[in-house]
Amino acid sequence: MRSLEPAIAALTLVVTMLSSVTWSKPPEVQPELVGQVRVELKGLDLQNPADARALMTRIEKAAYRACGGNPKFAWSYDLMPERTLEVYARCREEAIQRAIAQIGGAQLAQMHQEERPRPAR
């Protein structure tokens, strides 16, 4: 059994080194891992601000679900909370942008642009 100890130690070191390289990459949203959630448009008039707001709320909730829900429940959160939050936020933002583009509502796009959180300086 003594001959396996150096091999196990070397394997652990290699895995640790590879992990640090992997974690140092910028977070990426993998589109193939993002779910799809249907958003109902029936009965909404997008020219009406109240209806546009209702649709925007539906889109935001759908993006939250499609991108995995609460990032604090992700396996990566304990290891890299800030990066995990960033990846989830980027996923939601991209999902919202795709939905707005697909619907084609200029009022929705403007509403989203005005309500987006501004990055801290």
> What 8-state DSSP symbol labels residue 37?
-
Average pLDDT, integer, range 3-31: 43
pLDDT at 85 over 90: yes
Torsion of CA 72, 74, 75, 80, to 10 degrees: -60
Task: Of 70, 71, 112, give the one whose Cα is nearest residue 94.
Answer: 112
pLDDT at 104 over 60: yes
pLDDT at 1 over 80: no
Mean pLDDT (the chain, rounded): 74
pLDDT at 108 over 60: yes
**Quick one: pLDDT at residue 47?**
85
**Quick one: pLDDT at residue 72?**
92
Q: Cβ neighbours of residue 102 under 8 Å, at least 6 residues apart?
A: none
